[in-house]
Structure 1
């Protein structure tokens, strides 16, 4: 449907006016012709001639005034230019306005005045009140039940007395345990974003939902704020950038930005501006195992109606590289080498799977057995497996390495062909080690800036149909399917990005849109943020480490490690037996330090140890695996075809879960949008209505302008040469006036072609002339005596002849 613009309306009006301009004079001239008589005063003939000759009737009727026979070419050319230009003017008058249109455009820049706006949706309704709860944590020494105990956290001022032997340790806390974060730690790890900036820091991140718990020896048994988790919404099927309470959710590329939302006030048509915001986003890499899980749908077998499950060698066994892989671990903050980690996970997973299936041998120096002494496989070789009733083979699957094998013998006997002898005793511990070797840091490693969190696991892609049927008919009986297997390594990083916002002039958070998200552009490496992390000397499982952008003055502190670069990889560790703090069965987090805990906790929901845990389990409120939701199944199926697409799956799932976990509290008005001295001065581009033009519609007007310029140039030349002047024009008008011509011929004593118009009108205007319609060169005046006059000259002969003829006509 064509949109009716202001230009179109103006064009329609102009067309109507052109029609009226042509119709009215033409119709009036026709009416005037009917009122004229053959006998009229010469003044009447003048007026009537002027009216009739100025209409289109001479051209329509091809009357004498338009006949070109005998006309000088120059005069004919100029005379035809008049109607042609008139037509051009009419076309330009109609077409030119059609190019006009109105749109919202930028009008100028000014400093914006912002105010807080709350999310009226589920994210806003479920978000706990901000700024009322203390951040908290406790620290510990040791790793086992025998030697693990409380330890003083950095800057806490707590005291712990340790006594006893190495086998039995006693921990005494004379002043109890204070879980509150010391102001010194807050000062250090907030210093880099103090003042007027929109960039959030570690302590600007809070749990979206909070509850409280008591612990006997912590804070004197008083309630301690802790995080609670439930997924509020899922944006998997809407891959766009969302603005929700406290966050920018990049559901297209993955990642969340922290912003306590404000919008400009006193904006009628809208505005645009940019802000630098802190984002936390997952980065992933996946490597194909060159193995697939193949199965058939068969409703004659028990639930889950999966039959003939088998592991197929697509090159992962027979073509495996027999050299042990290593990845780059020299500077994990600058280069986490996720590709190398994912490849190592894939290699180890395949090796232990081959050993379990007796495809190859493991090394054993005691008996003199060498690894790779044989490889009993070929492309396309199938290895029958037992069906795990807890696994949803029809959807996406993410979990531990080797999860497709019955390592714990839970399903032995269901499929005799799948009862592998496992001659080398491969068990769950071997595959658990794969996760730690891939991630690079375990619970006993020191919590420092080099030990970044990397979650590793096995991703089973959504099955692809292989028998030529519908790719979505995953419940069709006897259909055949194949799921690719991938080894994935995922880290989480903090990075500052420049976000461009627009508002459309309406009220509410729905008016706020994000038009672009780009990494912040720095003029030189010297301008990169200085990221800091506390160096506590405790192990990974003994502390939730604080990190953030810090001021250079704190970089030299002995217990602060720093790195100056664009992004900061969140520290942490991966343990195969650990459960995410956000797991619904736990009810709440341990303490209230989301900036440290939430990135890895969300990732652990995607990499659970057991298939009945995590965000892809059957108990999760949203079908994120696509086992039942066909749109999600189709989307994951499209991304499961290669390793690059599979990497996006983890990023999108992490973002979907993280949006419900945390919220940003810092906005343009400072922390909690309630610190006026920290309000940021932001220049906004104001929008307003602006009239614009499509220049193609101006072509007739441009041509008319060119014609006018040509006429003006020609007129200037003729005026300079004195060939065209007002006096000349006046004389030509007098020569061409029909009444003056008649009186000059009939009444030479009172009329000539040189006298002024006023003199002529006064002397001759009321004289009557009969112009007979008969084709004779005759005319008669009212004085009958003139017919008796004998002509002595040719002019008088014409005059008398005209009078005599008219007398006979009477």
Structure 2
């Protein structure tokens, strides 16, 4: 290519530079050509007509040669300063103009900008996702909602071993109780969700943009069909199966892909995924018609996002790296728990994170801090660092009669044979490439009081069950609680950060035998909330989802309190272990309904869920209501209760890039919380999809097909779309030479106007001075012996015709007289009348020529 990688501005500048070179070179070259044409005789004498000398002089002195060669016309000696200043400005102005001509075009550039007039009523159409998420999202047939509460006759959940009616369902179950126990009498088990229930939790959409989803616009990315059948081993023989044994759908979870390293806003099948801060927005993706330069618009979307807080326990695990890892297992030596102030500087006053209004003041950090405090106190009691008054009474936890620790004190976690401890459970998630997430507080002590030579006597018999208090105080919920809008869906646990080298010799990604490492330990909590966010999209390129970019995700701003969304949570007498409540956006018509908890604010912390004794959620996974299931299940999966073949093992970063990222984030408690947000988001984005888009609401087809196959029609009020257009723009710093040049020009023009207005300069005066300084007139005046200006001399010669002769008359009478100019002596010129030309006019007898006889 001729200009390589140059842009339009660069090419314009090069063209301007070439033109400027020509503009400078040609005016310099033409005088050279002219002088080359002039013939010189002896003593460098040249003969030409008087008017020719006027033209030659004007041409030579109007070029840049006088300045370059310091000729007389460029002299500053003996010349008044004002004249020097004015005459010098010509050169300065010329140079500025040359520079401006070259530099000014360099500031030009083309830009794709938004049109100033957004278009309304633009029709949107669905676009498919060509990525693995599009390929991995299950096709869906007529997929009704299903809801299962309590325990069915084919599985037992915790203490609930019988089916329960779901709130507002068509089921009919009564419980008969006697001294031997509770017995269900099942008249009907119906998994269907009544339409009027759906209508209630979608009613709030009437006050929202068409793009906002409800809980019933959230579907499972993966699903299967469930059938319950009679079980002869059922302890309740009167129980019957759901839906008379007909199949009904259930929500499943399978990993499609991980986006942990994306650090961007992503548009994938059915979702907008915030991999910068965490959170997923529900949207069945649709776009406006393709345009040459693309388009942009903004929508309100329902988002569900995690909110995490971490507190430093001020305890670290320290070890030496002895052998290179094999089979995803680090070989470490001298594992110790180091007191960094978590024991020695313990606040002896027990914290209390109880809150009466968790929706407005969840006190997440306080909850994580209380759990960390309980974890540290029980660890101290286990290792006999301090005493305890009553280990079974949380309110009388520690008497703290002594505290046997100091900052820097180390407590062994391995026996002398380097055997991994704890011995009763898998090893503590500590290593040079490990990131530990554990729902069990105090897990690192399990087994250290066993064996022939235990590391610790554990005089107060502190066990794992005692550490459960830390988790329960942190989550603030129990399966025996009735559903309450102030119970949060929170998960708590210990986070073991990425190991960092103690010495600064090498990077923490350099695994060197004999090196020393330290692992921070944090107490963390993650809650989940629903909110409305304003999302800005840009579409350009091919007509599929790969060309849709999310450019901004921002909190929606409301003009006043009444404009904020009204959230509703299902109210019933069912306990969390029986049924997880529905939630959603509701209209003002349902405010005050006895079956609803309502709240008007920007966001809603989603309803709580039951957590079992080992951190497992008692979720009704045999149902198809992902809007009340998925967020809780992924909270549980995040803290490690997962099947390795389904959920990725986040405790082993897959590559050095992830390891480096988590190494940086886990160096502080404040940034460790971001890791939890991103893990939950990664799991959630693999879990569900949104089915509402601007191309219309989804219609359940009667035959198998993708959920985008049929729609009710386009949105009634789509957002305005701003189409992009090309515009020439300018970098103004390149205009500085031109602006200076224009300033000079403006000043000169202003002075011209002022002198003209005052009458100090007129065309008559200009013409007079041009004639006075005409080279030919000066020469003829000199030759014919007159003194004074040319007009007076000419008048003396031809009084009747030369008083105010025009140039034409002067040329006719004097201009054609040949004049010879040669080098003289002592810096003078030798000026003589040249040879007579047949065309030269006859002169009056009173005129004499130097070196010639008197004329008659």
Could you say which TM-score interval applies, normalised by the shorter chain?
A: 0.7 to 0.9
Question: 2:512 aligns to what?
Answer: 476
- Contact 2:387–2:401 under 8 Å retained in 1: yes
Question: Could you tell me how far apart the structure 2 residues matched to 1:580 and 1:365 are?
Answer: 25
Query: Is 2:623 the counterpart of 1:591?
Result: yes
Question: How many pairs align?
Answer: 785
Deviation at 1:538, TM superposition (A): 0.7
Of residues 498, 520, 525 in structure 2, which corresponds to 1:489?
525
Of residues 67, 70, 75 in structure 2, which corresponds to 1:59?
67
Deviation at 1:204, TM superposition (A): 1.5
- Contact 1:310–1:384 under 8 Å retained in 2: yes
Of residues 678, 702, 718 in structure 2, which corresponds to 1:652?
678
Question: 2:129 aligns to what?
Answer: 119
CA RMSD of aligned residues (A): 3.9
Question: 1:713 aligns to what?
Answer: 750
- Contact 1:531–1:563 under 8 Å retained in 2: yes
SS in structure 2 of the partner of residue 431 of structure 1: helix
Deviation at 1:623, TM superposition (A): 5.2
Spell out, residue by residue over 1:667-696, the C-alpha distance to the aligned partner (whole angstroms, 9 max, x if none).
Answer: 233434834363443233443332233333
Deviation at 1:601, TM superposition (A): 0.5
Residue 57 and residue 630 in structure 1: after superposition, are their counterparts in 2 closer, same or farther (change >3 A)? closer
Spell out, residue by residue over 1:461-515, the C-alpha distance to the aligned partner (whole angstroms, 9 max, x if none).
Answer: 2223335553525753333333222222221111112223334556443333333
Deviation at 1:181, TM superposition (A): 1.4
Matches within 5 A, 1:75-224: 77-111=85-119, 113=122, 114-129=124-139, 132-140=142-150, 148-163=161-176, 165=178, 167-174=180-187, 176-194=188-206, 196-216=209-229, 217-224=241-248
Spell out, residue by residue over 1:124-167, the C-alpha distance to the aligned partner (whole angstroms, 9 max, x if none).
Answer: 11112368411211122798778632222223222224445353
Query: Is 2:40 the counterpart of 1:8?
Result: no
- Contact 2:577–2:618 under 8 Å retained in 1: no
Deviation at 1:724, TM superposition (A): 2.1
Structure 1 stretches of 5 or more lacking a match? Answer: none
Deviates more, 1:475-484 or 1:440-449: 475-484
Residue 130 and residue 68 in structure 1: after superposition, are their counterparts in 2 closer, same or farther (change >3 A)? same
Matches within 5 A, 1:473-622: 475-504=511-540, 507-577=543-613, 589-608=621-640, 613-614=641-642, 622=648
Spell out, residue by residue over 1:628-671, the C-alpha distance to the aligned partner (whole angstroms, 9 max, x if none).
Answer: 63333333232333321222221121112111111122223343
Question: Could you tell me how far apart the structure 2 residues matched to 1:330 and 1:435 are?
Answer: 19
SS in structure 2 of the partner of residue 111 of structure 1: coil
SS in structure 2 of the partner of residue 292 of structure 1: strand
Deviation at 1:343, TM superposition (A): 2.4
Of residues 13, 18, 28 in structure 1, which corresponds to 2:30?
28
Question: 1:665 aligns to what?
Answer: 691
Question: 1:382 aligns to what?
Answer: 411
SS in structure 2 of the partner of residue 771 of structure 1: strand
Question: Could you tell me how far apart the structure 1 residues matched to 2:126 and 2:840 are?
Answer: 102
Deviation at 1:761, TM superposition (A): 5.0
- Contact 1:735–1:753 under 8 Å retained in 2: no
- Contact 2:591–2:598 under 8 Å retained in 1: yes
Question: 2:376 aligns to what?
Answer: 350
- Contact 1:435–1:576 under 8 Å retained in 2: no
Question: Could you tell me how far apart the structure 1 residues matched to 2:464 and 2:843 are?
Answer: 142
SS in structure 1 of the partner of residue 163 of structure 2: strand
Spell out, residue by residue over 1:338-393, the C-alpha distance to the aligned partner (whole angstroms, 9 max, x if none).
Answer: 223222222332333334334444445999x9953744621214144452555442
Question: Could you tell me how far apart the structure 2 residues matched to 1:488 and 1:411 are?
Answer: 26
SS in structure 2 of the partner of residue 641 of structure 1: coil
Matches within 5 A, 1:217-256: 217-256=241-280
SS in structure 1 of the partner of residue 307 of structure 2: strand
Question: Could you tell me how far apart the structure 1 residues matched to 2:136 and 2:538 are?
Answer: 26
- Contact 2:267–2:550 under 8 Å retained in 1: yes
Question: Could you tell me how far apart the structure 2 residues matched to 1:267 and 1:692 are?
Answer: 21
- Contact 1:780–1:804 under 8 Å retained in 2: no
Question: Could you tell me how far apart the structure 2 residues matched to 1:601 and 1:805 are?
Answer: 126
- Contact 1:464–1:483 under 8 Å retained in 2: yes
**TM-score, L = length of structure 1:** 0.86
Question: Could you tell me how far apart the structure 1 residues matched to 2:818 and 2:836 are?
Answer: 8
Deviates more, 1:198-207 or 1:691-700: 691-700
Question: Could you tell me how far apart the structure 2 residues matched to 1:465 and 1:21 are?
Answer: 68
Question: 1:782 aligns to what?
Answer: 836
Question: 1:689 aligns to what?
Answer: 726
Question: 2:291 aligns to what?
Answer: 267
- Contact 2:160–2:578 under 8 Å retained in 1: no
Deviation at 1:597, TM superposition (A): 0.7
Deviation at 1:802, TM superposition (A): 4.6
Spell out, residue by residue over 1:762-807, the C-alpha distance to the aligned partner (whole angstroms, 9 max, x if none).
Answer: 6667x45142535323113527999999986xxx3xx32154699x
- Contact 2:250–2:624 under 8 Å retained in 1: yes
Question: 2:701 aligns to what?
Answer: none
Question: 1:428 aligns to what?
Answer: 464
Deviation at 1:599, TM superposition (A): 0.9
Question: 2:436 aligns to what?
Answer: 397
Residue 157 and residue 33 in structure 1: after superposition, are their counterparts in 2 closer, same or farther (change >3 A)? same
Structure 2 stretches of 5 or more lacking a match? Answer: 40-45, 230-240, 415-419, 699-707, 785-793, 825-829
Deviates more, 1:345-354 or 1:453-462: 345-354
Question: 1:439 aligns to what?
Answer: 475
- Contact 2:576–2:608 under 8 Å retained in 1: yes
Question: 2:359 aligns to what?
Answer: 333
SS in structure 2 of the partner of residue 800 of structure 1: coil
Residue 173 and residue 788 in structure 1: after superposition, are their counterparts in 2 closer, same or farther (change >3 A)? closer
Question: Could you tell me how far apart the structure 2 residues matched to 1:59 and 1:751 are?
Answer: 39
Deviation at 1:404, TM superposition (A): 3.2
- Contact 1:42–1:740 under 8 Å retained in 2: yes
Deviation at 1:246, TM superposition (A): 1.9
Spell out, residue by residue over 1:265-317, the C-alpha distance to the aligned partner (whole angstroms, 9 max, x if none).
Answer: 24332343322222111112222333333333334999652333333334434
Residue 800 and residue 63 in structure 1: after superposition, are their counterparts in 2 closer, same or farther (change >3 A)? same
Question: 1:754 aligns to what?
Answer: 804
Deviation at 1:75, TM superposition (A): 5.1
Question: Could you tell me how far apart the structure 2 residues matched to 1:62 and 1:347 are?
Answer: 90
Question: 1:800 aligns to what?
Answer: 849
SS in structure 2 of the partner of residue 276 of structure 1: strand
Spell out, residue by residue over 1:79-132, the C-alpha distance to the aligned partner (whole angstroms, 9 max, x if none).
Answer: 443333333332332333333333233331312533322221111111123684
- Contact 1:751–1:763 under 8 Å retained in 2: no
- Contact 1:141–1:539 under 8 Å retained in 2: no
- Contact 1:270–1:686 under 8 Å retained in 2: yes
Question: 2:788 aligns to what?
Answer: none
Deviation at 1:249, TM superposition (A): 1.7
Residue 701 and residue 804 in structure 1: after superposition, are their counterparts in 2 closer, same or farther (change >3 A)? farther
Deviates more, 1:491-500 or 1:718-727: 718-727
Residue 721 and residue 570 in structure 1: after superposition, are their counterparts in 2 closer, same or farther (change >3 A)? closer
